[in-house]
């Protein structure tokens, strides 16, 4: 028997989009844990935040760190915008390279 897919509400979509705004992933992660759509986006937002923190730490290293930091931040901004767009559209999204670490 096929599982029926429940459409996320507008508030779920906004909450899921909030997941991709730096440390604000905490609110959907804690408050939306009972809603699979919100929780899936929040876990990916957490993975993206950890990635951003690592990139920020590497960026302190002269030359090599600056280059890695620039491309890392560019990746993070693009993925954040894509995640926000998918969340607001009510669609699932997998963060490239990072989604495998959060079990999506």
Q: For 4-31, what is each residue's pLDDT tens digit?
A: 567 888 888 998 999 999 888 889 889 8
Q: Is residue 59 part of a domain?
A: yes
CA dihedral 47, 51, 57, 61 (to 10 degrees): 170
pTM: 0.85
Note whether residue 97 is domain-resident.
no
Domain housing 29 = 10-89
Q: Which long-range contacts (CB under 8 A, 24 or more apart) does 30-39 make?
A: 35/8, 37/8, 37/12, 37/90, 37/92, 38/8, 38/12
Task: Kindly state whether residue 56 falls inside one of the protein's structural domains.
Answer: yes
Q: How many domains is the chain partitioned into structurally?
A: 1
Bigger pLDDT: 3 or 70? Answer: 70
Task: Give me the mean pLDDT over the 78-97 stretch.
Answer: 92
In a domain, 67, yes or no: yes
């Amino acid at each position: 028997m096929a599982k029926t897919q429940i459409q996320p509400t507008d508030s779920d979509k906004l909450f899921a989009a909030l997941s991709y705004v730096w440390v604000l992933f905490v609110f959907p992660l804690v408050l939306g844990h009972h809603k699979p759509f919100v929780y899936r986006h929040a876990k990916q937002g957490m993975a993206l935040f950890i990635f951003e923190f690592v990139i920020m730490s590497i960026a302190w290293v002269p030359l090599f760190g600056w280059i890695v930091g620039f491309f890392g931040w560019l990746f993070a901004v693009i993925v954040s915008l894509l995640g926000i767009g998918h969340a607001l559209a009510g669609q699932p999204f997998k963060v490239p390279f990072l989604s495998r670490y959060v079990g999506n």
